[in-house]
Amino acid sequence: MMEILGYVLYPGQEDYKTRWIKEEDYDEVVCEECHSLLVDDYFNDDVKLQKMKYDFLWVADGANIFVTEKVKQFIIDNGYTGIELRPLRTMEGVYNLKCNNLITIEKELLDYGKKCNKCGEYTSITTGQYSIFYKNKWYYTYVKEKVKDGFFITDLKFGEHTYKSPELIIGTETYKKMKKAHLKGFIAAPLVKE
Ligand SMILES: [Zn+2]
């Protein structure tokens, strides 16, 4: 059995119809050449999400994560720091989760698209040789150390175009606590030691 160092969270609930980047902001915040979002703290409090059924919800562009009051309380109760919960004007009790705790990941064996001449970003980045498919499940190996209790983001954005964003990572302790608190709407893929 592989040793689990932490988990990367993937959408268990998605709202891919809603656009996070406002049309009028697009030219200003997105590279005209490769369509990468160039502003890390872009925030649109006017976003009109579809129904929030679970506690976590992902919007594809900018891969923004939205959470419920229950998650906010969970974060407060556990004393987790480095997380901004930005309220939406359009939805009571729903927050945009912005995590500022960086985790340094291994980058050598990722799959890189071509580098954009305009902004210098890669057109796409995927997990490449850090992914293992084993018994119907994906595991990732780009983290080398045990992840501490709390929420973190990778120091690199995965995906492509405006869909590029850091991955949200949690510790194994955090995962247990989230399960116990019955938080829903995410899929936790294990980060393992090879
Ligand atoms: Zn570009």
Q: Which residues surround ligand 1, an ion (CB under 5 A)?
A: 31, 33-34, 116, 118-119
30 Cα to the center of ligand 1, angstroms: 8
95 Cα to the center of ligand 1, angstroms: 29
121 Cα to the center of ligand 1, angstroms: 6
Q: List phi, psi (to 5°) of 61.
A: -75, 130
- For the chain of 194 residues, list the mean pLDDT of each consecutive stretch of 10: 93 87 91 91 87 91 88 98 95 94 97 96 96 94 97 95 93 98 97 92
Q: Give the predicted TM-score (pTM) of the model.
A: 0.94
14 Cα to the center of ligand 1, angstroms: 26
pLDDT in the model for residue 87: 94
153 Cα to the center of ligand 1, angstroms: 22
23 Cα to the center of ligand 1, angstroms: 18
Name 68's bridge partners: 94
Distance in angstroms (rounded) separating the CA atoms of residues 194 and 181: 30
The domain in which residue 177 lies consists of: 4-192
158 Cα to the center of ligand 1, angstroms: 15
Alpha helices in 49-171 (DSSP H): 69-77
Count of domains for the chain = 1
Cα radius of gyration (the chain): 17
